[in-house]
Structure 1
Amino acid sequence: MAKRPTDIWREHVAEELAERAAGLRSVEDSNFSALYPEPLVVATEHVLTAFEHEVRGFDAPSDGEVFAAIQRAVEGLNDVDGAHDDHDYDTIEREELCEFIDGVLSEAGIDLDGLAARRGIERSEITGRWREW
């Protein structure tokens, strides 16, 4: 099962807080709580959950249906990213989000290489048309 980036982010925050509580990390050396504020994580999780539910509901979807789901997810993440100007998705987060989208689609049995080839793009570009983050 594709691991949600939001789960990874929460794990980082929890680990950091535990290290601070144990005296192993200073406040000055803590950045995950600032990188992943709960409102950003919750909003991101909402988009990812909606995407998962939509993809799991597919029954032999057309390429258009798959790309429409990807578009909705990416545009939802654009909205989240735009609404949290001081906490943008950085390189690692962008990679995690794209890997998650890829993983959910692959787990649903969607041939992403074929899907991309039929659109004349690389598999790594399936989110690129709509992605602003």
Structure 2
Amino acid sequence: MSTRWYPLYQRGNPQQRIFLPNFWLKLVRPDHKQPPNIVQFIVSIEMTKHDIKNYLEKIYNIPVVDIRTVVAMGKTKQDEVKGYVTKEDDFKVAFVTLPRGQKFEFPDLFPKDEKKFESDAKTLEETKKNHRKFLEKSNQRPGVPGWYSF
């Protein structure tokens, strides 16, 4: 359900309406070791198990076997100077079980490949060459800033 209300009546030719749900999912790395077919999400506190299942199946085409949810309390902190207490928002954690044959692994965002470093060296040399060319342009026109070129 969305909390965004649209006008019931529009004068003239009605525009197309877009449904924008207030639901969101955030994939998180689990704190404890879990089987490879269980994925952990932090979800909107208003989402039910049925909403989570529909969201994953209809939008991302992920088959879901079971969902377990837990509402976690936000952390409380006390300000050291003024002494007032603040509390972070509560959140809901969803543990989604995939079918038995499937497993989920987080992608390696920072691979340590030597090939990548070779391409970075080529890019660096090309950037240095372009910078030298840029500096030569500004040498021909004294008194004009380098960024003011055509």
Flag whether TM exceeds 0.5 (same fold): no
Higher relative contact order (CA 8 A, sep 6+): 1
Structure with the bigger percentage of helix: 1
